Amino acid sequence: MTATATPTVSTGAADTDQPMTHRQVMEALSGLLLGLFVAVLSSTVVSNALPRILTDLHGGQSAYTWVITATLLTLTASTPIWGKLSDLASKKLLLQIALVIYIASSALAGLSQNTGQLIACRALQGIGAGGVTALAQICLAAMVPPRERGRYSGYFGAVFALATIGGPLIGGVIVDTSWLGWRWCFYVGIPFALAAILVLQRTLKLPVVRRTVKIDYLGALVITGAVSLLMIWITLAGKNWAWLSWQTAAMVGGGLLLGALAVLVERRAAEPIIPPHLFRHRTVTLSALASVLVGIGMYGATTFLSQYFQLAREKSPTVAGLMTLPMILGLAVSSTVAGRLITKYGRWKAYLVAGTLLLAVGFGLLGTARADTAYGLLSVYMAITGIGLGLTMQNLVLAVQNTVPRAELGAASSVVTFFRTMGGAMGVSALGALMNNRVGHYLTENLAAAHVPVGGALGGGIPDLHKLPAPLVPLVTDAFGHGVGMVFLVAAPFALLAFVTVLFIRESVLRTGQD
């Protein structure tokens, strides 16, 4: 099922085919970075605030899961659709539309009166955030040729790090500030999004595609359905039902069936959402696989480090955020420096190889962390992990963008983002289930050794260390220290597989032109 799209019209005289100067690129980049910051922030800022939010809205554990899942689901499913649309219409207009969706959904989320409203608004927020995340990188690719792109893409890595790891810190400060309250976790990004729209309107000058195309509505529907089923399964399995159950069989089977159907539909579509021929490029296929593996580790690191510092080290949400600064600095510095070196020399594969190897080493070292591990050592481990992420994330996108023609930049770029987000969402769920299992195991051992009845004084959820009897606190913190360490130890082989994958990517010198 396809429909003919109307030809794209220019959004203004400023949209020309003339290359942008360095100053113009930096001015437009400020708008792109503002948009990227709020998009990534929306996924992380609520993590420390959710207990307070759900208490006020009378929500339970199921609502806790769905507030997170709804955003990840729509963000992942919408990414390739935004990417394909950017090859067919004005990239600037699409980016501004995505920001408007983000603003409207954030305002509505802040006004939510029950968990159903909040979950619906978070789903809408994911659509806007997915558009901003994908389109920001696509706009950069349209602004500058691959050879010059490295110097600018490093800023993307730095902002991504700041928003990903800084989000929980900001959320913790907001909920701890009585005159703000949790609703400001959703309002805080709105001024930045408005500023991004205004800056982009004045500074972003891109050529507007004018062509009549067939929009692949059926492909979009089938892809979204396949991703949604698999994402819902991986998120809820082990919590709402057993991993080996009829629900698992139905959802995995349905997801795989829809995935196979999507391949058939995309092969027949005139303008497929994810063009199958892209995967004939060895670099695209291997980069997509590496992105899944890197995503598992990236989201796992940012998710479970915060829990480690709060539950194994007894730190407040604000302090826990500050203690992850070594990872932020490692990611920000490495992505910026590598970007400049790539622009200077035109080579990029060495950074991917080094980045994935450092990521595996960093995760392996974090796997040795316990509740009493010296913070100096943890800082080194986090810095190594951050450097690995900084050398890897943006350069996988760059490798793909250097491989495909300009007309398919959007679809190809969004493929990498799509697989990275999907891998991250599934990885967090699976690693979270592993952590819960290991924490329960170690806690049971500790309680038995201390001759404390299992389950005594502890509920079934995440404990509040400040409300536990003093003798129980070290038993709980020790269990969480071991549990989180195990998560990183299991994540390390995925990073090692990413290292092996990027070894097989063929390096080609970065193009100096856009075509």
Delimit the domains of the chain by residue range: 14-213+271-503, 214-270
CATH topology of domain 14-213+271-503: Growth Hormone; Chain: A; (1.20.1250)
Residue 79 is predicted with a pLDDT of 83
Residue 363 is predicted with a pLDDT of 95
pLDDT digits (tens, 9 = 90+) for 185-219: 899 989 999 999 999 999 888 766 555 556 677 88
Residue 497 is predicted with a pLDDT of 95
pLDDT digits (tens, 9 = 90+) for 13-42: 344 456 677 788 888 889 999 999 988 888
Residue 13 is predicted with a pLDDT of 37
pLDDT digits (tens, 9 = 90+) for 440-483: 889 888 888 887 776 544 555 566 677 788 888 898 899 989 98
Question: CA nearest 84: which of 412, 383, 448, 468?
Answer: 412
Measured CA to CA in angstroms, residue 236 lies from 59, 229, 254, 394, 426 at distances of 17, 11, 16, 30, 10
Q: Tokens representing 31? A: 């708008």
The residues, any chain, with a CB within 8 Å of residue 262's CB and separated by 6 or more, are 219, 222, 223, 226, 274
Residue 214 is predicted with a pLDDT of 67
Residue 331 is predicted with a pLDDT of 85
Residue 175 contacts residue 84 (beta carbons within 8 Å): no
- Say how far residue 334 (Cα) sits from the centre of its chain: 19
Residue 61 is predicted with a pLDDT of 54
Residue 131 contacts residue 98 (beta carbons within 8 Å): yes
Residues of the chain below pLDDT 70: 1-19, 48, 51, 60-65, 165, 207-215, 300-302, 454-464, 511-515
Q: Tokens representing 6? A: 């109307």
